[in-house]
Amino acid sequence: IQSNFYMFCKYILGDADLLSLLMLCAQGLGMLFVPVWVFMSRRFDKRVVSMLGGAGFLVAACGIFFVQAANQAIVLACMIGVCLSTVFIVPYSMLPDVVDEDELRTGRRREGLFVGFFTIALKFSATAAFTLTNVTLKASGYVAPEATCGMGTDESGEPAQNDEVLLCIRLLCSAAPAAFLLATIACAWCFPISRQAQAENARQVARLRHERAA
């Protein structure tokens, strides 16, 4: 995703250095809003918090397609930063709830299996994102800058990208993330473990452990 935004800044906005400011806004606000989302996840169902953060992220992602100036990009980067914490906090906080539910159903504690599957899914999604980006850009006619031997790339004579490439970059930074965010919201909506169910599961798991210890 960061590489896509680099190309967005470079070819759409005409300022590759703007990426540093956008990352600072997004990641900085993301860190500042961690306590806010943690507080909300303790007050409300985690799936509700996930859908709220995902919806805000979705709106910002859709807005990226229409960005024409640096100040617009900064506003959307700040909006993404506010919602960014939910992407990292809520799924990991849901994982123990799933492990407890599985233990009550099967009688086995399989957190290693779930964590391993979770990690593999994250790595697979990153690989899929890189593959999708490379294949799409190549199909649209992207011309990579010529590399200079051991000295990076020569930016003075970079080729101009055609309109299809520019449209592709916009879609990779907006429509593609928005589609995955929409799927995430749908999955959160279907998440069956409510706050009350999680509390009851925790009590039952604690009782089972006490009985096993006895």
pLDDT in tens, 86-130: 888 888 888 889 999 998 888 888 888 999 988 898 889 888 888
Has residue 150 got a pLDDT over 80?
A: no
How far, in Å, CA of 83 to CA of 63, rounded? 14
How far, in Å, CA of 92 to CA of 37, rounded? 13
Averaged pLDDT, 158-187 = 90
Contacts of 114 (CB under 8 A, 6+ apart): 95, 98, 99, 102
How far, in Å, CA of 86 to CA of 48, rounded? 11
Contacts of 133 (CB under 8 A, 6+ apart): 3, 4, 172
Averaged pLDDT, 3-24 = 92
Residue type, position 60, single letter: A
Q: How confident is the model at residue 214 (pLDDT cuts 50, 70, 90)?
A: low
Q: Phi, psi at residue 45, to the nearest 5°? A: -60, 140
**pLDDT per residue as tens digits for the range 14-56:** 999 999 999 999 999 999 999 999 898 888 888 899 999 999 9
| pLDDT value, residue 154 | 44
Has residue 185 got a pLDDT over 80?
A: yes
- The angle that helices 163-173 and 111-140 make with each other, rounded to 10 degrees, is 160
Helical ranges in 33-69 per DSSP H: 34-43, 46-64
Q: What average pLDDT does the chain have?
A: 87
- The angle that helices 46-64 and 70-106 make with each other, rounded to 10 degrees, is 150
Has residue 158 got a pLDDT over 70?
A: no
